[in-house]
Amino acid sequence: MSLILDDVGHEYETGRALFSAISVELIPGRTYAVVGPSGAGKSTLLNILSGNLEPTRGRVVRARSTTSNWVFQNPHGVPGRRALDHVALAFLARGDSRAEAEGKARDLLDQFALGSVAEERFRHLSGGEAQRLMLARAIAAAPGVLLVDEPTAQLDVRTAAVVNESLGRLAERGCIVVIATHDAGTRDSCTDVLDLAGYQS
Ligand SMILES: Nc1ncnc2c1ncn2[C@@H]1O[C@H](COP(=O)(O)OP(=O)(O)OP(=O)(O)O)[C@@H](O)[C@H]1O
């Protein structure tokens, strides 16, 4: 089910107008890079897409059943919980048995080059590992829309490419993936680019 931005613009009470007149239909199967200079409003647009923030202009049309999942720039995990359990829980919540959930979680961890830290506690992961774990957990939840803020900011080029590929694969499974990014590699790996520079008020 698509997500439609209809003439969307936003201005915080305290500030200037960030962007205006964004009209675009986001379609399952595609990955959207939201780009623009720092302060252009990329995170704000993700917030609007998530439904957490009402735009001051226009509207977002989404199916009532659409689930969205947000991966933040700063990873939030449970310090004493194993990496594996963070991902397995999402499968358990969807009705899998413990064995099935752990099997699927290990596959996903391997995809994100996290197989070797599956048994590690969250607090022992590096910044980049923790961020990839958050992505794996979000993907395990199979949301209709995945919103990701700067997924490759802490990663080396090779690991960033792994993450970009995984986000593309998730889209291919029917998810709308929207990524706020400054990373040219991530932008180029997306099927579509939404450049906020073109929507300045
Ligand atoms: N809750 C808020 N209230 C008032 N102003 C805000 C609020 N959130 C963000 N802003 C301002 O709106 C502007 C856009 O912020 P936003 O975080 O959306 O930009 P961004 O493009 O994601 O930036 P960056 O690339 O640096 O992450 C900034 O000037 C910021 O200070």
Is the model more confident about 79 or about 72?
79
Amino acid at 192: D
DSSP string, 19-88: EEEEEEEE-TT-EEEEE-STTSSHHHHHHHHHTSS--SEEEEE--TT--EEEE-SS----TTSBHHHHHH
Q: Residues 27-48: what's their mean pLDDT?
A: 95
Q: Which residues, judged by CB distance below 6 Å to any ligand atom, belong to the binding site of ligand 1?
A: 12, 14-15, 18, 36, 38-44, 180
Measure Cα distances from 88 to 36, 56, 80, 125 in Å. 35, 39, 15, 17
Question: Please, which residues bridge with residue 35 across strands?
Answer: 195
Q: Residues 162-190: what's their mean pLDDT?
A: 92
Q: Give the residue, out of 18, 72, 194, 201, with the most ligand 1 atoms within 8 A of its beta carbon, to mutate for a pocket test.
A: 18
pLDDT score of 21 more than 80: yes
pTM: 0.89
Q: What is the largest CA-CA distance in the chain?
A: 53
Q: How confident is the model at residue 33 (pLDDT cuts 50, 70, 90)?
A: very high
DSSP 123: G
Task: Name every residue whose Cβ is closer than 8 Å to that of residue 74 and which is 6 or more positions away in sequence.
Answer: none
On whether the CB atoms of residues 4 and 61 are closer than 8 A, the answer is yes
What percent of the chain has a predicted confidence (pLDDT) above 70? Answer: 99
Give 75-117 pLDDT, tens digit per residue: 789 999 999 999 999 999 989 999 999 999 999 999 888 999 9
pLDDT for the residue 184: 94
Q: Residues 119-139: what's their mean pLDDT?
A: 92
> Which residue has its alpha carbon closest to ligand 1 atom 28?
39
Q: Give the residue, out of 11, 38, 44, with the most ligand 1 atoms within 8 A of its beta carbon, to mutate for a pocket test.
A: 44
pLDDT score of 65 more than 80: no
Nearest partner of 177 among 69, 44, 18, judged by Cα: 69
pLDDT for the residue 30: 96
Q: Give the residue, out of 8, 42, 178, with the most ligand 1 atoms within 8 A of its beta carbon, to mutate for a pocket test.
A: 42
Q: Residues 33-39: what's their mean pLDDT?
A: 94
Q: How confident is the model at residue 7 (pLDDT cuts 50, 70, 90)?
A: very high
